[in-house]
């Protein structure tokens, strides 16, 4: 790594730089500094504003769960960078407490009672429109599902025969929302198993948020797409903020969103899962 860049960061003497897993979106490194270990994220060909939403998201979550501390945000050449405190961690810990922490986060609602956030955010090549809406159904369909469908269609990844089942799914979602009072809860927004960990004492930690205010079942639905969340996690959640009856049907649509997002970012390998999710959604209306 460029010595001039490391000097620019002003983080003490850097003795070692090690690439680490930082998700699918950013380049990530652990820096061994004279002040202690540090976590560095780089996003090529972006301005520092690329990381603004993550910084704001961490600030939103920090009162309710442990998160990394933001040390630096800026640009170097054509790269945006974000420097975070490095949290010693392990894969196992107090999953019940993780569920409890998420429930406490979801109990925070938007000040004006609307769905969205003050800024949009970008994950990979997908930019999520967070413009405020009074209706959750309108927000989720118009600012999540339809833009993703256009994106994958423009990429040649959306067979035309999917449109009928997709439109039927949207109509079903809108019907379900007529009998369900979604609240504009603070969401992590990208809660897959790679975005939580535990401190060495077992304390839950959340990372890489894509926060906005939306239906809390959105986060729950995402946790179920690829697994990695234990029964204790869901028990902790339910003990603190029980889900409303019928959530099993509604989270199918949030699973669809997440699979469509992966189709848009990682290609045709996710198409079969999107197709199957649409089948599952439409079968439940029979």
Tens of pLDDT, residues 211-234: 999 999 999 999 999 999 999 999
**Rounded percentage of the chain residues whose pLDDT exceeds 90:** 87
The pLDDT-based confidence of 4 (bands split at 50, 70, 90) is: very high
Write down the catalytic residue from 190, 208, 215, 219: 190
β-pairing verdict for 212-214 and 126-128: unpaired
Q: What is the mean pLDDT of the chain?
A: 94
For residues 59 and 1, which has the higher predicted lDDT (pLDDT)? Answer: 59
> Which H or E run contains 105?
helix 95-106
pLDDT recorded at residue 26? 74
Residue range 8-12: mean pLDDT, rounded = 91
Residue 123 confidence (pLDDT): 86
Task: Give the mean model confidence (pLDDT) for residues 116-135.
Answer: 94
Burial class, 143, CB count within 10 angstroms (exposed 0-12 / middle 13-18 / buried 19+): buried
Mean pLDDT (whole number) for 229-252: 97
CA distances to 21, 130, 136, 178, 243 from 26, rounded to whole Å, are: 9, 21, 30, 39, 33
Inform me whether the pLDDT recorded for 27 exceeds 80.
yes
What 8-state DSSP symbol labels residue 65? S
Do residues 209 and 70 touch, judged by C-beta distance below 8 A? no
Q: How far apart are CA 139 and CA 117, in angstroms?
A: 11
What is the predicted pLDDT for the residue at 128? 95
* Rounded Cα distance, 200 and 196, in Å: 13
Which one of 75-79, 103-107, 125-129 scores highest in mean pLDDT? 103-107
pLDDT band at 2 (very low <50, low <70, confident <90, very high): confident
- Predicted confidence (pLDDT) at residue 286 exceeds the cutoff of 80: no
Q: Is the pLDDT of residue 23 over 60?
A: no
Residue 284's pLDDT is what? 84
Q: What is d(CA 72, CA 81) in angstroms, rounded to the nearest whole number?
A: 8
Residue 67: predicted pLDDT: 98
Tell me, what's the pLDDT at 110?
A: 97
Confidence of residue 24 (pLDDT cuts 50, 70, 90): low
pLDDT at 20: 86
**Inter-residue contact 26 to 15 (CB < 8 Å):** no
Residue 25 has pLDDT above 90, yes or no: no
pLDDT over 70 at 124, yes or no: yes
pLDDT tens by residue, 96-108: 999 999 999 999 9
Rounded to an integer, the average pLDDT of 7-21 is: 90
Burial of residue 4 (number of CB atoms within 10 Å: 0-12, 13-18, 19+): exposed
Q: Could you tell me the domains of the chain?
A: 3-87 (3.30.200.20), 90-283 (3.90.1200.10)
| Residue 154 annotated as catalytic | no
Question: What is the reported pLDDT for 223?
Answer: 98
């Amino acid at each position: 790594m460029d010595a001039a860049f490391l000097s620019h960061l002003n983080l003490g003497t850097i003795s070692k730089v090690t690439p680490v897993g930082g998700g699918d979106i950013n380049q990530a490194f652990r820096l061994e500094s004279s002040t202690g270990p540090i976590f560095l994220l780089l996003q090529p060909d972006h301005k520092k504003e690329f990381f603004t939403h993550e910084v704001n998201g961490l600030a939103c979550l920090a009162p309710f769960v442990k998160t990394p501390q933001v040390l630096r945000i800026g640009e170097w050449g054509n790269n945006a960078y974000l420097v975070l405190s490095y949290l010693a961690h392990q894969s196992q810990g107090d999953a019940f407490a993780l569920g409890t922490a998420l429930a406490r986060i979801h109990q925070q609602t938007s000040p004006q009672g609307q769905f969205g956030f003050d800024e949009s955010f970008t994950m990979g090549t997908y930019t999520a429109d967070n413009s405020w809406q009074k209706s959750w159904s309108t927000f989720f369909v118009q600012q999540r599902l339809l833009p993703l469908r256009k994106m994958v269609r423009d990429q040649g990844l959306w067979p035309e025969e999917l449109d009928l089942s997709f439109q039927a799914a949207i109509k079903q979602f809108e019907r379900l929302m007529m009998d369900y009072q979604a609240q504009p809860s603070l969401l992590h927004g990208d809660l897959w198993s790679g975005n939580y960990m535990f401190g060495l004492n077992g304390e839950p930690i959340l990372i890489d948020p894509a926060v906005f205010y939306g239906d809390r079942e959105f986060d729950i639905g995402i946790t179920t797409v690829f697994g990695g969340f234990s029964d204790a996690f869901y028990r902790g959640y339910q003990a603190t903020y029980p889900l409303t009856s019928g959530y099993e049907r509604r989270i199918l649509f949030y699973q669809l969103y997440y699979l469509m997002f992966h189709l848009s970012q990682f290609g045709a390998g996710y198409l079969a899962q999107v197709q199957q999710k649409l089948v599952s959604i439409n079968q439940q209306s029979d």
